């Protein structure tokens, strides 16, 4: 049994250090990428308050394809360059979007989403997936969240 108990009162950098440590423990010795992504999505959901979607899109044959997640059913395929996820995949850069309605081309998978953080997962310099987090709260994510999820992406890049 995995019984991670994040402290909701701890500062974000500490919470993300704990999240990354937990992610390493959760994936230790397991090479099945789907299993690892499923557990990682559940772990992020457990650690981060105020999310309505948390999961992965994988790069498959030059486009993003839905991977394991927690949240409402979502759009399955996203071309590079489209929406927030496609922008992260095309640029290789984290996308921190305080107001999704102000982001040109945002793809609404859940009408409740107000802000979004998408972090590319790079292996050997190539984007292999993105981690997508959505929140019903405007401006839910800040630079500390971006840095924390980027650390998670680096930690799991060879495990998904
Ligand atoms: N909003 C994303 C699409 C994925 S869903 O949020 C799960 C986007 O604009 O790329």
Host domain of residue 45: 12-156
Is the beta carbon of 84 within 6 A of some atom in ligand 1? yes
Minimal-distance CA residue to ligand 1 atom 6: 109
Residue 71 lies in a domain: yes
Residue 96 lies in a domain: yes
Residue 135 lies in a domain: yes
Is the beta carbon of 53 within 6 A of some atom in ligand 1? yes
Distance CA(70)–CA(140), nearest Å, equals: 17
Residue 6 lies in a domain: no
Report the phi/psi class of residue 83: left, alpha or beta, with left for phi > 0 and alpha for psi in -120 to 50. left
Is the beta carbon of 83 within 6 A of some atom in ligand 1? yes
What are the pLDDT digits (tens) for 17-47? 999 999 999 999 999 999 999 999 999 999 9
Distance CA(144)–CA(130), nearest Å, equals: 18
Minimal-distance CA residue to ligand 1 atom 3: 107
pTM beyond 0.95: yes
Residue 1 lies in a domain: no
Percent of the residues in the chain that have a pLDDT greater than 70, as a whole number: 100
pLDDT of the residue at 109: 87
* Inter-residue long-range contacts of 47-51, CB under 8 Å, 24+ positions, other chains counted: 47/4, 47/6, 47/15, 47/18, 47/19, 47/22, 48/133, 48/145, 49/8, 50/135, 50/136, 50/137, 50/140, 51/133, 51/134, 51/135, 51/140
Domain count within the chain: 1
What are the pLDDT digits (tens) for 106-133? 999 889 999 999 999 999 999 999 999 9
Q: How many Å lie between the centroid of ligand 1 and the Cα of residue 1?
A: 32
Residue 7 lies in a domain: no
Rounded mean pLDDT, 66-82:
97
Is the beta carbon of 134 within 6 A of some atom in ligand 1? yes
Q: How many Å lie between the centroid of ligand 1 and the Cα of residue 30?
A: 28
Percent of the residues in the chain that have a pLDDT greater than 90, as a whole number: 91
Q: Which residues contact 7 (CB under 8 A, 6 or more apart)?
A: 15
- DSSP assignments along 88-133, one per residue: HHHH-S-EEES-GGGSTT---SSTT--EEEEEEEEETTEEEEEEEE
Residue 92 lies in a domain: yes
Average predicted confidence (pLDDT) for the chain: 96
Under 8 Å between Cβ of 15 and 6: yes
pLDDT band at 9 (very low <50, low <70, confident <90, very high): confident
Statement: residue 1 has pLDDT above 90: no
The CATH number that applies at residue 16 is: 3.30.450.40
Higher pLDDT, residue 78 or 4: 78
Is the beta carbon of 109 within 6 A of some atom in ligand 1? yes
pLDDT of the residue at 3: 81
Q: How many Å lie between the centroid of ligand 1 and the Cα of residue 55?
A: 10
Residue 45 lies in a domain: yes
């Amino acid at each position: 049994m995995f019984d991670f108990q994040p402290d909701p009162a701890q500062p974000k950098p500490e919470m993300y250090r704990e999240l990354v440590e937990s992610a390493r423990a959760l994936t230790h010795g397991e090479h099945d990428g789907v299993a690892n992504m499923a557990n990682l999505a559940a772990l992020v959901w457990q650690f981060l308050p105020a999310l309505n979607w948390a999961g992965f899109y994988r790069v498959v044959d030059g486009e993003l394809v839905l991977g394991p997640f927690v949240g409402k059913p979502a759009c399955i395929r996203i071309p590079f360059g489209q929406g927030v996820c496609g922008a992260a995949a095309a640029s290789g850069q984290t996308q921190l979007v305080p107001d999704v309605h102000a982001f040109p081309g945002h793809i609404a998978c859940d009408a409740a989403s107000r802000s979004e953080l998408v972090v590319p997962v790079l292996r050997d310099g190539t984007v292999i997936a993105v981690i997508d987090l959505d929140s019903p709260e405007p401006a839910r994510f800040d630079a500390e969240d971006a840095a924390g999820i980027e650390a998670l992406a680096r930690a799991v890049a060879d495990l998904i």
